[in-house]
Structure 1
Amino acid sequence: MKLAIEKLTAILRKRNKKLKAGYALIFSVGILAAYILLGDRTNIYSVKGSTQAITVETSDAEINEWVFSQGRLVAEDTDMQAVTLKDERFFVFSSDIKLRITSINDTTQHQLLITSRSDDITGVLFDGNKATPLEGYVEVLLTLSKNIVLPFEGKAYVGEDVGKDVDSLLLNGEISILESRFLSSGRYAGSSYVLDTGDRIYIVDKNSEYVSKGFLRVTQNDAFYFSVVSEGDGVQVTRFGNEDLLITPSIWSRVTKDPVVAAITSLCALMFLLLEFALLLKQTLNNKE
């Protein structure tokens, strides 16, 4: 009787060790899966489409110093009369300011309105050898005779939330996400999302550590093309006043599109399949004995 009890105790201890090892393996795999699927990665967000309005908070880069040698210049906070711009009399916007760009259309011509207000120098008017700094509110109204491209660096707010007296909207757009590969260099194309007419979007940067880069291509249409690219923490979409929509990478896209994760998933599946085959083979041999 004593020998039987000791034998049973040994069998139970052996089984408990196997169970503990199995639980440890499952727990380790779960931790690894959570880290792969939920761990932070540096993602690049690309937003492009057509809009009738955009606001850009420019950085101090020289690329933001837009030069205009055509159109009509108005500086409301000065005594200067409206100025017609031309080759020898041109205006340069300062960098590190907020610019509002709006498409204006009527039955006869297409125009672009660019406005800015700054407590410092908004821009400089060059007239021959004379340079006149302008402060406060400044606007440039362009009557387009050709296509123009306006590059920028900074933070872009595309579109305008639909509401009273709002007539310049985002017409269409798409968000694409480039995600970092797990434990390797390079990126892969993740999820993409289609924007609705009337959305207002911007790339979220919680710690203010990234700078968006992009450009506007203005043609003689009722809207202009925009492209904005930046690392960030997601894309905030405001739709009919609702700001709950934050576009971020999905877990499913990491599982299906990250080549490293796909390889790890395949390897784990193969290991479990081999383990199952080994247990089945062992059971078969024990039954024969």
Structure 2
Amino acid sequence: MDFLKTKLGKLIWRGRGGDRRNRSLGHGRGVALVILVVCLVGIVLYLAFWPRNRIYTLDINTEVVSFIVENPALSEWNVDSGELYTNFSDEKPVPDKLDNFSILILNKGVNVEVQRHGVGLLFIRLRCEGGKSVGKVEQLDGKERPLNEWALIKLLLKDKHIVLPFRGYLSVGEDITTHVDSMLLGGTVSIIEEKLFTKEHYSAGQENLVSGDRVQLWVKNGSVGTPASEIIERCGGNKAFLENQKGEGVASRLDGFIRAEPKDGFSEAKNSLSLIAHGNAEYATVERFGSGGYEVSAQPWMRFINDPILGVLVAVLGILVLLVEVTFKAAELREKLVDTGEQKTRQSGRSREKSSHED
């Protein structure tokens, strides 16, 4: 921008009195080019920071996943032959054995935690404070079993894997403390971003996660009074899902699934839980043990590399800047030639005058 200001200033100076003879043509072209370049720079910067949809993808191997249910229709799980615990007042609670083809249907706003170590038991913990029900279990014969505000289901995966789909507000991993026995084991956060004025997308970055990390996705649409915050607070809420470290925003709504493989099968079982989740977000936060954590987001400069429209505009801008420089140099050269011609004319006139006086 300093370059353009300098060129524009010099061109205007010529037009106002620096060189009256060239102001009509050179001055007009130069000023027009500089103004065009300035306008194009403004357009490029505006489009570079134009809001776009960003899809974040979590591909994670973990021992624990926590989320709050946003849509019950997408959170119906097969809990065949599981053990259901609902009475936690007993020292040794006796579980209820669930029938084959039992389906767990979760209510909106329920706090869910899925946990598994290695290829052992799968634990599903459900909580909804304030006396609200966490959901119900439907059986093959049509009978329904309503659940209270607390429930625990244990599943032993013998010869088949299980997939638990969900739509909700997600947190993967736990803050590392003395009493924590489950953690995120590894994975990636990937970002794809929408191209300008199209539905096509490009890769805008990827971040690797390490053991002990805790990751969440966020949107900056306010933490109080939004539909998301109302769902999060329905069952007593969870501060970790409502506000980020800066005290703004809510957790982004994600669609995904949790997969757990059986201990015995045709292939070697993968340890713990595999999580895939996608959703629109503005940034991710990664809490890392021993540090203050950091944010992961799409950088605007990636748009200049991957977006063809911005690439063309930058190329045109470069050509215009080159034309401004050529115009400026041509004007300087023309001035020098004119000045040289005038000097020769004056010298020739003085020589003739001198000769006439001598005669």
**TM-score, normalisation: structure 2:** 0.68
Instruction: Report if the CA contact (8 A) 1:113-1:141 is conserved.
Output: yes
Equivalent residue, structure 1, for 2:154:
141
Equivalent residue, structure 1, for 2:271:
222
1:111 is aligned, of 100, 121, 125, to: 121
Alpha-carbon deviation of 1:215? 0.8
Equivalent residue, structure 2, for 1:11:
18
- Partner of 1:110: helix, strand, or coil? coil
In the alignment, the residues of structure 2 paired with residue 16 and residue 279 of structure 1 have an alpha-carbon distance, to the nearest angstrom, of: 9
Equivalent residue, structure 2, for 1:4:
none
In the alignment, the residues of structure 1 paired with residue 328 and residue 185 of structure 2 have an alpha-carbon distance, to the nearest angstrom, of: 60
In the alignment, the residues of structure 2 paired with residue 277 and residue 158 of structure 1 have an alpha-carbon distance, to the nearest angstrom, of: 57
Alpha-carbon deviation of 1:257? 1.6
1:154 is aligned, of 135, 151, 168, to: 168
Runs of 5+ unmatched residues, structure 1: 1-6
* Residue 100 (structure 1) aligned with residue 113 (structure 2): yes
In the alignment, the residues of structure 1 paired with residue 327 and residue 294 of structure 2 have an alpha-carbon distance, to the nearest angstrom, of: 48
Equivalent residue, structure 2, for 1:55:
66
| 1:27-176 correspondence to structure 2 within 5 Å | 27-76=38-87, 81-87=94-100, 90-96=102-108, 97-105=110-118, 110-118=120-128, 119-126=131-138, 128=141, 130-145=143-158, 146-176=160-190
CA deviation profile, 1:78-119 (whole Å, cap 9, x unmatched): 89941122316x3513231121001134xxx62110101123
In the alignment, the residues of structure 2 paired with residue 267 and residue 77 of structure 1 have an alpha-carbon distance, to the nearest angstrom, of: 70
CA deviation profile, 1:107-133 (whole Å, cap 9, x unmatched): xx6211010112322232446454221
Residue 39 to residue 69, structure 1, CA distance change in 2 (3 Å): same
Alpha-carbon deviation of 1:227? 0.8
CA deviation profile, 1:157-197 (whole Å, cap 9, x unmatched): 11112222212111111111111222444222211111122
Alpha-carbon deviation of 1:28? 3.0
Please state which structure has a larger fraction of its residues in helix.
Answer: 2
In the alignment, the residues of structure 1 paired with residue 203 and residue 258 of structure 2 have an alpha-carbon distance, to the nearest angstrom, of: 24
2:213 is aligned, of 190, 195, 199, to: 199
In the alignment, the residues of structure 2 paired with residue 252 and residue 8 of structure 1 have an alpha-carbon distance, to the nearest angstrom, of: 38
**Superposition RMSD on alpha carbons, in Å?**
3.1
* Residue 213 (structure 1) aligned with residue 255 (structure 2): yes
Alpha-carbon deviation of 1:65? 2.1
Report the residue type matching 2:253 in the other structure.
Answer: V
In the alignment, the residues of structure 2 paired with residue 271 and residue 23 of structure 1 have an alpha-carbon distance, to the nearest angstrom, of: 8
CA deviation profile, 1:53-82 (whole Å, cap 9, x unmatched): 100211133121223112211012689941
In the alignment, the residues of structure 1 paired with residue 123 and residue 31 of structure 2 have an alpha-carbon distance, to the nearest angstrom, of: 70
**TM-score, normalisation: structure 1:** 0.82
In the alignment, the residues of structure 1 paired with residue 284 and residue 186 of structure 2 have an alpha-carbon distance, to the nearest angstrom, of: 15
Instruction: Report if the CA contact (8 A) 2:41-2:317 is conserved.
Output: no
Please state which structure has a larger fraction of its residues in strand.
Answer: 1
Aligned length: 279
Instruction: Report if the CA contact (8 A) 1:205-1:232 is conserved.
Output: yes
